[in-house]
Structure 1
């Protein structure tokens, strides 16, 4: 394993108040880095971006150039091997210098110009150990193949502050997540998760039992909506991660609608035979979106039913 470090000229020995941590794999984080850098010149913030084994020299060069152009403190860490989402976040936390860290995904943008200032204020006033700011999705673009991910995000992720507060840890994700670094030292992300999904849900459920979680209205915009085929593939291959999440929190499982549906499907003989029909319904764009979403959720539950059996 080879580690490459690129550091901006403004990266000095002054200890920051907040470390912004951005893991990525084959994503270009340039737009996010430039947007954040506009605030780092006036606030005690550092930005660390971590390439989890992309292996693309052209992307590395592009990200290095952006880091070198930053006016504030910025650092690129490039790993030659892919270690997974949990390991990437833990590695970023190990290299952070501030007492608070803010996780953002590379395909996000702040929803407002005072994004970092809002977190700096909350860190001092919210009486919290963990702060989740919430999500928005980008305006509808001319790409209908990503509409189902947008629709799913709107009903599952882009929730109001009141909805998130009522649910507690259930709607916390590991992007746009501000955390005291000592919390992560005691409760790191579980490196046993591989591939996509559920490591952030498991972490939030675990941490909320020991530390104070607060929801805030400081959203980031999710730009990287996935195609229909990518959504289908991720849901079909993340069953093992879901099983790991459920095994870690059996007390939470009975409260989750996905768990209850998956268990019911698991009791139906030959339930997997309905998957071709569900997949077809998800992909037919002329169907009402609510029916496509229902088919997508049943597709996921069908695969999870096998993982839970």
Structure 2
């Protein structure tokens, strides 16, 4: 287990047990804007809220110091946990759960933004409904940089759904950001840190959590601004293939999903690996139609998943 260092701000030293712990990992992203927004909302609530951040690997000591300085002056309880080395998405979220003191945990990503009344809406949901976990969804921020148009187009086709649509999809529509969960459920069903790097640890968690408790979908979206360029997406999808194989190995029932079907179809095509260069080229080509670029990116992902499944 990687060594960690904790900084607890003055407000936390005088605070009692919170109802809600807002927890967020970060790796190079600056969480201070989100931190300040959350603190402003939390200060206006009647129920106590704390904020817990996890710096996954301390890649930027200057950023770490700025975050600690921002925490010091906050009027709400807050804690910064810093890992000596990068532990990955799944393990980072488990570390956050261990550091949090609230009865409920709200997972966010550091590059998110939340609207007015965001925390209040979750606290109201806790009071009026009986559930163990809820995914609030997300809304995409504007992709003003042309290099981010592909990522935005992909998100629009696969990730942006209202609660009714996500409810029909079920647990596989859950993401690990903007996820509200009882601390007791998280203790029973932690993230599987056998998922390394990026991808699919949230779907695995949701499928298991849906069997251990009541998981619902709500319309309380957070805005996600973490757009990435085509080369980064291509690398992530390539590297996530091993995680995808792990997901299907743990949950064979997910083989019916479109992504798994596409991977099996791709695996049956002789020499399909030779086409990866074409798909990569199309995905990177700004002048190509977005639909074609999005399709190429999905074929690239299916190709690598097919190899991991074989």
TM score, norm. by length of structure 2: 0.96
Give the CA deviation at 1:95.
1.2
Match of 1:21 in 2: 23
Provide the residue aligned with 1:62 in structure 2: 66
Distance 1:188 1:2 in 2: 19
Aligned residues: 306
Answer whether contact 1:55 1:80 (CA < 8 A) is retained.
no
Normalising by structure 1, we get a TM-score of: 0.97
Aligned: 1:139 with 2:115? no
SS at match of 1:208: helix
Q: Distance in 2 between matches of 1:202 and 1:104?
A: 18
Per-residue displacement from partner, 1:177-231 (whole Å, max 9, x unpaired)?
0000110111100010101100001110111122111110100000111111100
Deviations 1:157-195 (A, max 9, x none): 111222111111111000000000110111100010101
Quick one: which of 221, 226, 229 aligns to 2:228?
226
Give me the whole-angstrom Cα distance separating, in 1, the residues matched to 2:236 and 2:50: 32
Aligned to 1:271: 272
Map of 1:163 onto structure 2: 165
Matched, 1:78 2:98: no
Aligned partner (choices 100, 103, 122) of residue 125 of structure 2: 122
After the TM superposition, which of the residue ranges 189-198 and 64-73 deviates more from structure 2?
A: 64-73
Counterparts of 1:95-244 in structure 2, within 5 Å, are: 95-110=99-114, 112-141=115-144, 143-244=145-246
Question: What secondary structure is seen at the aligned counterpart in 2 of 1:252?
Answer: helix
8 Å contact kept, 2:141–2:223? yes
Moved over 6 A (4+): none
Structure 1 range deviating more: 292-301 or 35-44:
35-44
Aligned to 2:300: 299
Deviation at 1:40, TM superposition (A): 1.5
CA distance in 1, matches of 2:287, 2:6: 49
Change (3 A) 1:281 1:55: closer
Partner of 1:33: 35
Name the SS for the 2:170 alignment partner: helix
CA distance in 2, matches of 1:227, 1:55: 21
Displacement of 1:290: 0.9
Aligned to 2:56: 52
Structure 2: gaps spanning 5 or more residues? none
Secondary structure of residue in 1 paired with 2:212:
coil
What corresponds to 2:255 in structure 1?
A: 253
Q: Give the alignment of 1:278-289 within 5 angstroms.
A: 278-289=279-290
